[in-house]
Structures are given as structure tokens and as C-alpha cells.
């Protein structure tokens, strides 16, 4: 009976140590939430690398960087482009991870206004 009690205490202590180690292990970092925005270009601020898109009455900000890939055309048929070819009034679709309330674009497809 005494050996059984000692074994139970040993198993209990080992279980507590394992639970403590598992809870103290670093938690896996969640991947950033991927999103998309589309709308008409209302403004381009090249100093802060931001594009303002408007869809209806809602305006949203897209952040771009040197790594952002710009394409001109549609998702079916597009040609490589750059931020220099984007104009106010163009329709733009961008995808990438969210940076707070702003979208950090990895790709943007631009369709010229008519």
C-alpha cells in the first residue's frame, strides 16, 4: 500500500511537471490574416506609400512597398505594371495581409478608367 501511494505521488508530480512544461512552451505565432480590397483609386500618396480606394461611400487605405506586384488589365489577362502607371479613377483590386485597418498589398491589379 505504501509503495502504491509513493508511485501515485511520483506519477502526479511527473504529470504536473509535464503540464507546466507544455504550458510554458512558446505558442505558435498565428499567420497574418489575409484580405482583399477593391475600389476606385481616390488618391495616391507616394511619400507614405499609401493608396486610398473608395467603394460606395467607404474609403480604405492600401499600403504598398517595393515588393508589391502591380499588374495592368484583369485577373484573366494582365501585364506587369508599376505604381507610376496607376491614376486617380482607376479601378484597383489588391490582396495581402492586414496591418491593423490597412491592407499591406502583395499584389494589385489595376484596370484603367474609361
Residue 41 CB burial class (10 angstroms; 0-12, 13-18, ≥19): buried
Domain assignment present for residue 21? The answer is no
Domain assignment present for residue 22? The answer is no
Domain assignment present for residue 84? The answer is yes
13, 14, 18, 22 from 9: Cα distances, Å? 6, 9, 14, 20
For 26-64, how does the pLDDT look when each residue is reduced to its tens digit (9 = 90+)?
Answer: 667 777 789 999 999 999 999 999 999 999 999 999 999
pTM above 0.95, yes or no: no
Name the domain count of the chain: 1
* CATH number where 70 lies: 2.40.50.320
Q: How far apart are CA 25 and CA 96, in angstroms?
A: 30
Domain assignment present for residue 19? The answer is no
Helix residue ranges, H only, the chain: 2-24
Domain residue limits at 76: 34-111
Domain assignment present for residue 74? The answer is yes
For 64-113, how does the pLDDT look when each residue is reduced to its tens digit (9 = 90+)?
Answer: 999 999 999 987 788 999 999 999 999 999 999 999 999 999 999 999 87
Amino acid at each position: 500500500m505504501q509503495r502504491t501511494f509513493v508511485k501515485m505521488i511520483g506519477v502526479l508530480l511527473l504529470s504536473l511537471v509535464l503540464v507546466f512544461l507544455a504550458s510554458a512552451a512558446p505558442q505558435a505565432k498565428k499567420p497574418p490574416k489575409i484580405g482583399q480590397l477593391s475600389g476606385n483609386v481616390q488618391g495616391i500618396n507616394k511619400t507614405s506609400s499609401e493608396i486610398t480606394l473608395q467603394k460606395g461611400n467607404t474609403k480604405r487605405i492600401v499600403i504598398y512597398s517595393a515588393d508589391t506586384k502591380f499588374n495592368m488589365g484583369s485577373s484573366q489577362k494582365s501585364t506587369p505594371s508599376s505604381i507610376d502607371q496607376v491614376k486617380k479613377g482607376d479601378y484597383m483590386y489588391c490582396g495581402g495581409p492586414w496591418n491593423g485597418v490597412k491592407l499591406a498589398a502583395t499584389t494589385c491589379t489595376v484596370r484603367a478608367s474609361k
